[in-house]
Amino acid sequence: MESEVIGMRAYERLLRYAVVDSQSAHEAAVTPSTQKQFDMARLLKDEMEAMGLERVYADGYAYVYGFLPATPGREGDEVIGLIAHIDTAPDFNGAGVRPIVHENYGGGDVKLGQSGLVLSPAQFPDLSACAGHTLITTNGTSLLGADDKAGIAEILTACERLMEEGRPHGGVALCFPPDEEIGHGAALLDLERLGAAFAYTVDGGALEEINCETFNAAAACFAIRGVSVHPGSAKDVMVNASLLAMEINAQLPPDEIPARTEGYEGYFHVTDIKGDVGAAELKYIIRDHDAARFAARCEKLRAIGAAMNEKYGAGTVTLTLREEYRNMAEALAGREEIVERAVRAVKAAGLTPVIRPVRGGTDGSQLSFRGLPCPNVGTGGAGFHGPYEHISAERMDKAVEILLNIICGE
C-alpha cells in the first residue's frame, strides 16, 4: 500500500479512487445508503495510515477521520477542518467508471470513448482554459466521480506535501463522509472527534470560487388519491389522479424552474412524477437563498394542497414537506475571517477570488448550523453528475496549492 500512494499527484489519486463504485442511493433508510461506500472508506483508511496521518478512524457509518498535527510553534493555532465526501451522485450511472486521460489536450472537442458523446467547449466553456493540460474525462457511459473524489485527492495530497516539506502549519482535521449527494453527509459527522474550530468543504467547481451562501432547501411530495372507474361510466364519478398532478404543477410559476433561473433566483423543481387514474405522486425540491422567499414558496405548496382538497374533497391530496438544509450565510455571519482566509489563499495562488452563492447545498450548510462554520472551496472540476464530468491534472495541482495556502495562512 505505501509504495502505491506515497508521492502521488492529486490526479493520480483521483484515477485510483474513480474506479471504486461508491454511489449513494435516494430514500435509503440506513447510513450509508449503500454498502459499497464502505469500499471507499476502507481504501482511504488504509491510505491515510500508510501516509502516517494520526487518529485515523473509520466508523460504522463509513465516515473516515484523520489528523495532521501542527508543526512546532504552531500548536496554538485553531485546528482547521477539511471535508470531502466519498459518495458519488445517484442521478447517473456510477458503476464501471473508466476515466480517460488526454495528454496535452488541444482545446477542442473530445470524443468520450465509444459512447458517441462529445465533450465540447461550446457547451463547457471552461475547457478552453484547459488547452495544454492533462485532461481527465469519462468514457461517456458513467460519471467520473470527481465530485467529490477530486476533493479527497487534493486534501490528502496537500497533507502529504506538508509532511514532506515541513512548511509551518496548525493542526488539520480531516473527515470524508458518505451520503452527501442525498443530503445526509453532515448528519452523523462527529464534531468532537473531528476537533476543528472551523472547516472548509472541498466540493466546489471553479478554483477561484468561494461559496459562503447556499440555498435554503426543502423536499415536497404530493400524494394524490383518485377514483378509478370504467371510462364509459365515469361521468361525475372518476377523479383522474394523473390529471390532478398536472393541475397542481400548472399552479406554479412556469419561469421559476432551474432551466430559467440563475444567481440568487429560487425555483420549484419537479423531480419525479408517476401515477395513473387511481393514484399519482408528484415530487419537488424547493430552493431559495432568501429565507422569507423560501418560506413563501413552501406556503404556496401548502395553499395549493388545501385548495385541491377543497375542490375535490378532503384527503384527495396529501402534502409532505421536509426541510433539508438552510443558507449557511446565516451561520457564518460574524465569522468573516474564515472566508477571508480562503480569499487570501486563492489570491496567493495567482487567481482572482470570486464570492458566489451555491445554487445547491453542501455538507457545510448543515455543519455551519451545527456549530462548525464551513464555507466551500473549489476542486477545479466541471460537468458534475453526468457523462460530461471532467477535470485536469493542472487544475488539481492548483487546488492543492490553494489548500496549502489555507492551511498555512494565519
201 and 74 assigned to the same domain: yes
- 71, 191: one domain: yes
Res. 5: pLDDT tops 80: no
Mean of the per-residue pLDDT values for the chain?
95
Angle among Cα 322, 176, 61 to the nearest 5 degrees reads: 65
Same domain, 240 and 334: no
**Active-site residue (options: 77, 148, 180, 209):** 180
In this structure, the answer to whether residues 392 and 292 fall within a common structural domain is no
Query: How many domains does the chain contain in total?
Result: 2
Same domain, 60 and 124: yes
- Phi-psi map region of 267: left, alpha, beta (phi>0 left; psi -120 to 50 alpha): beta
Is residue 318 a contact partner of residue 282, using CB atoms and an 8 Å limit?
A: no
At 160 the pLDDT is 97
Q: For residue range 348-385, what is the model confidence (pLDDT) as tens digits? A: 999 999 999 888 878 898 899 999 999 999 999 999 99
Tell me: do 182 and 302 sit in the same domain.
no
The answer to whether 178 touches 87, Cβ cutoff 8 Å, is yes
Confirm whether 126 is a catalytic residue: no
Tell me the pLDDT band of 218, cut-offs 50, 70 and 90.
very high
CA distances (Å), origin 304, targets 62, 226, 301, 307: 40, 17, 5, 5
Strand pairing report for 279-288 and 54-58: unpaired
- Number of other CB atoms surrounding residue 203 within 10 Å: 27
Residue 69 and residue 194 in one domain? yes
CA separation (Å) from 353 to 260, 348, 349?
26, 10, 10
Last residue of a domain, one of 274, 308, 325: 325
Same domain, 295 and 306: yes
Residue 222: give the domain boundaries: 216-325
**In the structure, what pLDDT confidence band is assigned to residue 88 with cuts at 50, 70 and 90?**
very high
Looking at residues 38-51, what average pLDDT do you find? 98
Together in a domain, 295 and 246: yes
Domain end (from 266, 292, 325): 325
Contacts of 37 (CB under 8 A, 6+ apart): 22, 24, 62, 86, 87, 178, 179
CATH code (residue 310): 3.30.70.360
What is the mean pLDDT of the segment spanning 89-116? 96
Residue 78: DSSP 8-state:
P
Q: Identify the pLDDT of residue 359.
A: 86
Record the cell numbers describing residue 64, joined without a space.
473516515
- Core vs surface per residue 97-129: b (16+ CB within 10 A) or e: bebbebeebeeeebebeeeebebebeebebbee
Cell digits of residue 93? 450511472
Active site residue 87: yes
> Smallest Cα–Cα separation from 364: which of 335, 340, 332?
332
Q: Classify 244 as helix, strand or coil.
A: helix
Predicted confidence (pLDDT) per residue in 111-121, tens digit:
999 999 999 99
pLDDT grade for 324, boundaries at 50, 70 and 90: confident
What CATH number is given to the structural domain containing 168?
3.40.630.10
Q: How many whole angstroms separate alpha carbon 172 and alpha carbon 289?
A: 31
Same domain (yes/no): 174, 48 = yes
Do residues 315 and 363 share a domain? no
Q: Exposed, middle or buried: residue 34 (CB in 10 Å: 0-12, 13-18, 19+)?
A: buried
**Segment 119-128, tens digit of pLDDT:** 999 999 999 9
The whole model's pTM is what? 0.88
Boundary (domain end) residue, out of 263, 295, 325: 325
Which one from 87, 154, 209, 213 is the annotated catalytic residue?
A: 87
Question: Of 84, 83, 85, 73, nearest to 171 (Cα)?
Answer: 73
Return d(Cα 290, Cα 138) in angstroms, integer.
Answer: 36
Neighbours of 272 (CB within 10 A): 10
- The verdict on 221 and 204 lying in the same domain is no
